[in-house]
Amino acid sequence: MIIRNKDTGFTIIELVTVIVVLSILGAFTFSFLDNAIRTYRLVKEQSPLYADGAYIMERITRELSDAITVTKATPGELTFTTPRHLPPPLDEVREATTVNYRRSDSNPRDLLRNNTIIGRNVIKFNASQLDGTITIELELDNPNDTSIPSFALKTTVIPNNYESNFGETGRSFGASGYGNYYETIQ
């Protein structure tokens, strides 16, 4: 014969405590999963924009590093002159080239380089010059999905081919209007 003890089992307080603890753990788990999904979606949507922004900024920075003179650095436009180099083994300087980056008049979200589109979804393009140092700001967003925030890129460039010494480095590779420093950009 089995004798049962009436003191065994769970009390209502123990059951309520377990339910409360499990519900708190469940809330944290679902919150964590929701945040992970949102972060994944954000990264997935912003990756192409960031790649475009990085390309634009890299292109401007490389060409600007080679600049002999900067004639215009204003919000929405950047104009400078670079030496035109022939690739090695010729490795000689020919005529100077003027490069102009600006926002398009027909579609302000397009960024142009010498009237050719090099980037889209640009909502801000600023260039400013202070003591030979050029600061470039670029902001991009996704017009199709307003829930994803825009992001900004900013850099400072000291052209290497100025005729005199500028910036923190105090050096210049410039020589009689043509730079001795250059990168081959294709």
Tens-digit pLDDT profile for residues 80-108 = 888 765 555 555 656 778 899 999 999 98
**Residue 4 maps to a domain:** no
**Residue 32 maps to a domain:** no
**Residue 85 maps to a domain:** yes
**Residue 162 maps to a domain:** yes
For the chain, residues with pLDDT lower than 70 are: 1-7, 84-94, 162-186
CB-based burial of residue 22 (10 Å sphere; 0-12 exposed, 13-18 middle, 19+ buried)? Answer: exposed
Q: What's the pLDDT score for residue 176?
A: 47
Q: What residues make up the domain containing 128?
A: 51-179
For residue 78, list its beta bridge partners.
73, 101
Q: What's the pLDDT score for residue 39?
A: 87
Q: What's the pLDDT score for residue 163?
A: 61
**Residue 7 maps to a domain:** no
**Residue 44 maps to a domain:** no
User: What pTM was computed for the model?
Assistant: 0.68
Q: What's the pLDDT score for residue 101?
A: 94
Domain count, the chain: 1
Q: What's the pLDDT score for residue 20?
A: 95
Distance CA 172, CA 61 (A): 17
Counting every residue written for the chain, the total comes to 186
Structure tokens belonging to residue 138? 């670029």
**Residue 154 maps to a domain:** yes
Distance CA 174, CA 164 (A): 7
- Provide φ and ψ at 16, rounded to 5°: -65, -40
Q: What's the pLDDT score for residue 114?
A: 92
CB-based burial of residue 88 (10 Å sphere; 0-12 exposed, 13-18 middle, 19+ buried)? Answer: exposed
Q: What's the pLDDT score for residue 173?
A: 57
**Residue 12 maps to a domain:** no
